[in-house]
Structure 1
Amino acid sequence: MATQENKVVYGLKNVHYSKMTINETGKVVYAKPVAIKGAVEISLESKAELVSFEADNEVYYSAPGTSSYEGTLTLAKVPDGFLVDILGEVLDATDGVQTEIDGAKTSNFALLFQFEGDANGTRHLFYNCSASRPSVASKTGKEIGTTELAFTASAKPAETVNDKAVVKTKTTANTTTAVYNAWFDAVYVKAPAVG
């Protein structure tokens, strides 16, 4: 792609989720990403803490701790498909009624989205997210409300001994056109180096 690096970023669009499963061989598998329409805002805060060890009356060793994020995705409405695919609600095909089940098994997912920029859009991907159930609220009148979906993002499970604990990735000004254009078609997973 090789465009100029953004000076500023703004806006939010192209929010997608992709259900994550682990197959019988321990390989992480992602479903085809599904668009979430009506995204209003996303906010993520890093939960990485500095690990510090003191010896000889000084900081002898310090390093960043485990990298994870906590955040909220504000939506016009959480899609029914997300509630079924990720939060374990059950849709009865015979009468079309969707039901939340106590103790339902939830699924982890990848979260993909895009921020606009002055030069080009930056596409983001968090590999291993888990969400809590959104609240249910509205009020009389025609004022449109929003729903906050609280979630955490952490490293995807390692598949091999040499696998790195990848938390997130994003496009840059140097991302190839092919990778950039296919970002929302499938979860981007870098092929292992050969040799």
Structure 2
Amino acid sequence: MADTNKVRYGFKNVYYSVLTETEGEVTFATPKAWKGAKSLTLDPEGDTQTFYADDMAYFTQSTNNGYSGTLEMAYLPDDVLKDIFGYFETNDGMLAEDANVAPKSVALLCEFNGDQKAVRHVFYKIVFGRPGTEANTQEDTIEPDTQSIDITCVPIADGEHNWIKAKCPSTSAKYATFFETAPKLPVPQEEA
């Protein structure tokens, strides 16, 4: 399962899979494509704490609370507004946002190119902030506006594990159907 890439570039094939948590069980819906991937920026969340004793760093502990950052897409299609942000279709054919509805958590699937092979990634639990609205006048050239959304990638508790993300190299048996089948939380080899 070695990744032979020397560099990573490109960002494409964004899919989302609505997550359901019921009484400790986590399930994911079949992934849906979300076209127009522009960028993904995720910074680690968590701290490193150092305890000093005997005039030295006696104990150091790091915490991993996931990631936070921004997903930039070309557009928010109606399916995304309904599936993730809880917009409702109205009787007169509009889409309406209800302030009482919080965005749903989803798994976010995507692909990064490499110099040798593309690598697919899944972030198991993405919590979305509400998207803003921006529009600009057209000038002598057309420059598309994009949509940036604050996101947080948080761990999902599963027994002894708190899963955050996984990468799927092209050598994985899961690679061919990665975007077609619902994600599942990982099972380490020693537990299989």
TM-score normalised to structure 1 length: 0.87
- Superposition misfits of 4+ residues, deviation over 4 angstroms: none
**Which stretch shows the higher mean deviation, 41-50 or 144-153?**
41-50
In the other structure, the counterpart of 2:44 is: 46
Once the two structures are superposed, the pairs formed by residues 89-128 of structure 1 within 5 Å of their partners are 89-92=87-90, 94-128=91-125
Unpaired stretches in structure 1, ≥5 consecutive residues: none
Q: Cα RMSD (Å) of the superposition? A: 1.8
Deviation of 1:47 after TM superposition, in Å, equals: 1.6
In the other structure, the counterpart of 2:146 is: 146
**Which structure: greater strand fraction?**
2
- Count of aligned positions: 186
Q: Distance in 2 between matches of 1:182 and 1:8?
A: 24
Q: Distance in 1 between matches of 2:168 and 2:43?
A: 20
Cα deviation per residue 1:88-141 (whole Å; 9 max; x = unaligned)?
22123x432111111213211111100011111011111111011111111111
Once the two structures are superposed, the pairs formed by residues 53-68 of structure 1 within 5 Å of their partners are 53-68=51-66
Unpaired stretches in structure 2, ≥5 consecutive residues: none
CA contact (8 A) 2:28 2:184 kept: no
In the other structure, the counterpart of 1:28 is: 26
Q: Distance in 2 between matches of 1:102 and 1:172?
A: 40
Deviation of 1:17 after TM superposition, in Å, equals: 0.8
Q: Distance in 2 between matches of 1:87 and 1:51?
A: 36
SS of the residue 1:5 aligns to: coil
Between the two proteins, what is the percent identity of the paired residues?
33
Cα deviation per residue 1:145-174 (whole Å; 9 max; x = unaligned)?
11101100011133x3x3x0011110236x
TM-score normalised to structure 2 length: 0.89
Once the two structures are superposed, the pairs formed by residues 125-140 of structure 1 within 5 Å of their partners are 125-140=122-137
